[in-house]
Amino acid sequence: MKKKLMSVLLAGSMVLSLAACGETAADTTTSSDNAEAQTETQTETQSADTTETAAATSEVAGTQEAVRLLNGKPEINDQMQALAAKYLEETGNVLTVETIGGDTNASDELKKMYQADNMPDIFVIEANQAANWDGMLADLSGEEWTNKTGFELVDSTMGTIGFPYTVEATALGYNADILAKAGIDPSTLTSPDAWKAACETLDSKKDELGITAVFGWCAEPTNLGWSSGTHVFGQYLDAGLKADDTTYIDLLNDGGKIDEARMKNFAEFIGMMNQYSDPALLVDGTYDNQVAGFKEGKYVFITQGNWCITSPADVNFECGFAPYAFEDGINTIIAGPPSYWVAYSNGNVEGAKAFFNWCAGDSAQNILVNDAGLVSPFDDCQYEAVNPFYKSMNSYITAGNYSGWHTMLKKDGLQNETCNVFADYAKGKLDADGFVSTMAQVISAYYAQ
């Protein structure tokens, strides 16, 4: 990625939480954001009791002590094991990859590890969790890899603390082939009126196009609250803003305030999504239902990010992103690292630093991009992501039409409250005005705790 995203400067204290990014639902077949996003909510996909390790028994003598990395993305466990094997082959250093998930909550697992004095050397956090680890993360300033990216996580007191292992984007993913058949140019979807017209056209041609619904949107809060409460809600915070514009996240973090006019416009857009979604998916669906329906061409749009389709073999159509244009002129997607690898200050810091420098290099990037389907955050990476959304995603980023992942800076746990408001709206318990007033009440109450 050639464009630089302003490093995040964290200020103020956050509520204590040891939740680490990478939590996912208990389905090992789900893709990256199922794994990434549920980092903010409840569950993960593989149990720490069934942790896999790589290269730990090799006889190659390395220059560093073994490094333990806690992986919270179980869907790339095999690729992470391959990464560890390649690291051993090229450097003689041992990287032990431990993958957690299943019924194990990442925050609970890290608490247990911390209490047992068994912390990994490298683990994953979101930007808003940095304050929870104040004094326990190594400063990575000045490392070689920091000269090759603008996506590192910088804390105002702790320094450079986060290594960006991928860049992700979220907006309304679309099936370009269906839009073309319907005569809709996705580049024109930059206003509420344009969206309304497109939805009406697509809905009127459902039989002709062979689709079930315009949107594959699921507001079920128990398993998909991470999606509505974080990523969809994040569009209210950032859609249409430049990457360094923190207007609405600052307002949110100032005691839980919202811009009611903007929230009303957002609510009306979500109401349109509710209207043109598959009713069964909207209220009671799962992540797997949502992604499978999009892959099968049942839905024209999906409320996920590039993590939901990682391989060209997964679909037989062109994928792209369209903005949540709930106000005239919104033409951005959210892009950047939603989470980071960090080094535990009381662990093998030198080993972690050595791994990070190697990981930013060619061999590691080849595995992470070409095999794991990630998007590289490093300027000199020669590999273009195979992800079907990459072409569209990169076009926004190179044009500067991307907003920051400021949803990751909200008070930790807020998504568990806001997701229920989306669910009630989807069920018809709230109208647009009720959505706004309930959001205001729920958010204010949560910040008051």
> Residue 43 contacts by C-beta under 8 Å, 6 or more apart in sequence?
23, 24, 25, 26, 101, 102, 103, 105
Distance CA 290, CA 235 (A): 19
184 and 279: one domain? yes
| Helix spans in 97-173 (H) | 106-115
330 and 398: one domain? no
Distance CA 13, CA 130 (A): 9
317 and 363: one domain? no
- Gyration radius (Cα) of the chain, Å: 21
The domain spanning residue 377 has which CATH number? 3.40.190.10
As beta bridge partners, residue 95 has: 67
Please tell me the total count of domains within the chain. 2
HSE of 371, CA atoms in CB hemisphere, 13 A: 15
Contact 436, 267 (CB under 8 A): yes
The parent domain of residue 58 ranges over: 9-168+336-402
43 and 114: one domain? yes
Amino acid making up residue 77: N
Residue by residue, pLDDT tens for the chain (449 residues) are: 433 333 332 322 222 222 223 333 333 233 333 333 333 333 333 333 334 444 333 334 456 789 999 998 877 899 999 999 999 999 999 999 998 864 455 667 788 899 999 999 999 988 878 888 999 999 999 999 999 998 999 998 999 999 999 999 999 999 999 999 999 999 999 999 999 999 999 999 999 999 999 999 999 999 899 999 999 999 999 999 999 899 999 999 999 999 999 999 999 999 999 999 999 999 999 999 999 999 999 999 999 999 899 889 999 999 999 999 999 999 999 999 988 999 999 999 999 999 999 999 999 999 999 998 889 999 999 998 889 999 999 999 989 999 999 998 999 899 999 999 999 999 999 999 999 999 999 999 999 99
- Domain assignment present for residue 102? The answer is yes
247 and 208: one domain? yes
330 and 343: one domain? no
Q: Which residue has the tokens 């790589």?
A: 54
152 and 88: one domain? yes
Q: In degrees rounded to 5, what are phi and psi of residue 190?
A: -125, 25
Token pair for 387: 């992800």
315 and 364: one domain? no
Token pair for 91: 């450097």
- Domain assignment present for residue 3? The answer is no
377 and 441: one domain? no
